Chain A
Amino acid sequence: MNIVVCLKQVPGTTEVRIDSQTNTLIREGIKNIVNPFDTYALEEGVRIKERYGGKVTTVSMGPPQAEEVLREAISVGADEAILLSDSAFAGADTLATAYTLARAISKLEQYDIIICGRQTIDGDTGQVGPELAEMLGIPFVAYVSKIEGIDNGYMRVQRMVEEGHEVIETPLPAVITVVKEINMPRLPSLRGLAKAKNAVIPVWAAQELGVDRNTVGLLGSATRVIKIFFPQRVHHGEILQGELDSQADSLVNKLRQARVI
């Protein structure tokens, strides 16, 4: 099985707060991390390799420091890593990102399963997975919570929908995005860390991918951001006072008055 896992390095924003006085992000102590959902994708890729044999190749598009996430990936079981880095790739929206990844993966020639996390914690779109599938012309299944089995060129998965789970069968090669419910990512091993330290990670720029600079990055994007602002949180609320019992009374009365109950 040739497994490809797409990773992204993102700012560790889950703990970020807004400084309400200056209306800016409080950024102290925020370092770059691998997109948490991608760790589940990588873990699943390694598990498939352990179960069915094969190789896990990780790919990431980003600035030079994104190499860190690729090394981390090797320390937990990825066999190879490729960094796609070029100033031409900067400012890409999901379309341009998917295109760039698709070109890189096509260059690998052999791929059976491509795994992505369900979304990034900075972009939150969840669009790169499906768009990537389309560019490669292969099937796509989103929100996979379990891989039931791989057999004869077909993969059977469970995917989460609002009301429960669907069992889907797809021919391979295919792209899937995974949710956290699928597994628990492992910690690195000492041999993995040694391997990661010594690994040679090739960097592919626009030239290696054979792409026109107008098709990637900001120039290759269909959408662009024209404004960034911080949400205004205006506080209209009231903290109830007094003994807990009378607060509870007061609340029930207010809710009755508002005809909510």
Chain B
Amino acid sequence: MEYFLTEQQKTIKALARRIAEERILPVRAELDEKEEFPWAIMKDLADADMFRVFIPEEYDGLGGGCLELCLVVEELSRVCSGVAISYAATALGCSSLLEYGNEEQKQKYLPDVASGKRLAAFALTESTAGSDASAIKTTASREKEGYVLNGTKQFITNGGEADIYTIIALTNPERGSRGASAFLVDKDTPGFSFGKKEKKMGIRASTTRELIFRNCLVPEENLIGKEGMGFIITMRVLDRSRPGIGAQAVGLAQGALEAAVDYARQRIQFGHPIYSLQAVQHMLAEMATQVEAARLLVYAAARTIDSGAKDFTEEAAMAKVFASDTAMRVTTDAVQIFGGVGYMRDYPVEKMMRDAKITQIYEGSNQVLRSTIALELRKRRARRE
């Protein structure tokens, strides 16, 4: 299929694929087994300028947009989506800064992200606040020297590995969802510590941790935007990052599809490759079609964002929902096609199936996003009247 990528986009995609195949592929099983954060690969990505892809040129970046980021995430995820999300989470972690930060903040933090020197993370979720983001309890009380943070964030990707954290906390608990603000917090800030590393079903190379704030003083210049903008920033930043999760899901599904096709071609049963069985062919055809549709929806959403559109909530949600559901379905079918050996850890597809589940859950569960889409749909139709 022709994706109408520019020369630069093709170069980025090709280099990401090379990194995935030469550096990630040989170690992905081990990273999954040992649940190790892929530092060496983060360095390879940094050396290849991959972190510059989502940073503007004035901060040492290459000025790419959402589509460029999606191309990298997709290629990395095709080989290991745990590694891919470690990379993508950094983009999410500085997205608030990119969209709403002031010049001093950008100059201070972005060049280090561009060079890959420092990774980033975004922290919203708490034990009481998953889909119900407004139920967060972490507070940021205004003091003379800045803001003092108290509370615990849960399930934060890159928690403990990243140096730069975007934290959403309540500056004004009485105002509910209009009382939250976004802060930049450095890793070694006193009062900021980490909980245990979570043991997950999948994306085990990615590190997921609790962030614990006990009277953590954050300087006032680290407030992003204005007090009270916390949720607006969150909504926008998550909208912007959803195609990236879609890309993670597409890459994952693609990897599973390729593995299933290769296996079906060489597995002989009843004297023939199982690819000759119509049941298998139809499964693969369905898988391939779904992956292609998911990819196109993700690319279209990314291009919509890059075109400067003011509103892309619906497109971003659709891309993420469709792609993640596709990834779950395709990876499950891939295991089915592999049969017994697909269940064994020596083969790559069971990991892919375990990795897929989270894409339906995080960054907005697919149930919440369906409600979002329905709401946007109604709003659009209502505007016509």
A–B touching in complex (CB under 8 Å): yes
Asked if residues A190 and B53 are in contact (CB atoms below 8 Å), the reply is yes
A186 within 8 A of B: yes
A189 to B49, CA, bound (A): 5
Asked if residues B47 and A187 are in contact (CB atoms below 8 Å), the reply is yes
B interface, how many residues as a size bin?
10 to 19
CB-CB nearest in chain A for B18: A187
A interface, how many residues as a size bin?
under 10
A193 within 8 A of B: yes
Q: Which of B9-58 contact A (CB under 8 A)?
A: 11-12, 15, 18-19, 22-23, 44, 47-50, 52-53
A191 within 8 A of B: yes
B62 within 8 A of A: yes
Asked if residues B47 and A193 are in contact (CB atoms below 8 Å), the reply is no
- Binary CB contact string for chain A from 98 to 110 against chain B (1 if under 8 A, 0 otherwise): 0000000000000
Chain A neighbourhood of B12, CB < 8 A: 190
CB-CB nearest in chain B for A187: B48
Asked if residues A190 and B47 are in contact (CB atoms below 8 Å), the reply is no
Chain A neighbourhood of B62, CB < 8 A: 190-191
Chain A neighbourhood of B23, CB < 8 A: 187
How many whole Å from A53's CB to the nearest CB in chain B? 19
How many whole Å from B38's CB to the nearest CB in chain A? 15
How many whole Å from B114's CB to the nearest CB in chain A? 11
Asked if residues B44 and A187 are in contact (CB atoms below 8 Å), the reply is yes
A188, A191, A192, A194 — most chain B CB neighbours (10 Å): A188
A195 to B44, CA, bound (A): 19
A187 to B53, CA, bound (A): 16
A189 to B22, CA, bound (A): 14
- Binary CB contact string for chain A from 181 to 213 against chain B (1 if under 8 A, 0 otherwise): 000001111111110000000000000000000
Asked if residues B53 and A186 are in contact (CB atoms below 8 Å), the reply is no
Asked if residues B11 and A190 are in contact (CB atoms below 8 Å), the reply is yes
Chain B neighbourhood of A188, CB < 8 A: 15, 48
CB-CB nearest in chain B for A75: B15
Chain B neighbourhood of A191, CB < 8 A: 49, 52, 62
CB-CB nearest in chain A for B14: A193
A193 to B19, CA, bound (A): 14
Asked if residues B50 and A190 are in contact (CB atoms below 8 Å), the reply is yes
Asked if residues A190 and B19 are in contact (CB atoms below 8 Å), the reply is no
CB-CB nearest in chain A for B53: A190
How many whole Å from B202's CB to the nearest CB in chain A? 27
CB-CB nearest in chain B for A193: B11
Asked if residues B44 and A190 are in contact (CB atoms below 8 Å), the reply is no
Chain A neighbourhood of B47, CB < 8 A: 186-187, 189
How many whole Å from B160's CB to the nearest CB in chain A? 27
Chain B neighbourhood of A186, CB < 8 A: 47
Chain B neighbourhood of A190, CB < 8 A: 11-12, 15, 48-50, 52-53, 62
A157 to B19, CA, bound (A): 31
Q: Which of A189-242 contact B (CB under 8 A)?
A: 189-194
Asked if residues B11 and A187 are in contact (CB atoms below 8 Å), the reply is no
A159 to B19, CA, bound (A): 31
How many whole Å from B62's CB to the nearest CB in chain A? 6
Chain A neighbourhood of B19, CB < 8 A: 187
CB-CB nearest in chain A for B50: A190
| New A-B pairs, 18, CB < 8 Å, besides A187-B15, A190-B62 | A186-B47, A187-B18, A187-B19, A187-B22, A187-B23, A187-B44, A187-B47, A188-B15, A188-B48, A189-B48, A189-B49, A190-B11, A190-B12, A190-B15, A190-B49, A190-B52, A191-B52, A192-B49
Please provide the 3 A-B residue pairs with the shortest distance between their CB atoms, ordered closest to farther.
A190-B49, A189-B49, A189-B48
Q: Which residues does B use to contact A, with CB under 8 Å?
A: 11-12, 15, 18-19, 22-23, 44, 47-50, 52-53, 62
Q: What are 23 A-B interface contacts by the 8 Å CB criterion?
A: A186-B47, A187-B15, A187-B22, A187-B23, A187-B47, A187-B48, A188-B48, A189-B47, A189-B48, A190-B11, A190-B15, A190-B48, A190-B49, A190-B50, A190-B52, A190-B53, A190-B62, A191-B49, A191-B52, A191-B62, A192-B49, A193-B11, A193-B15
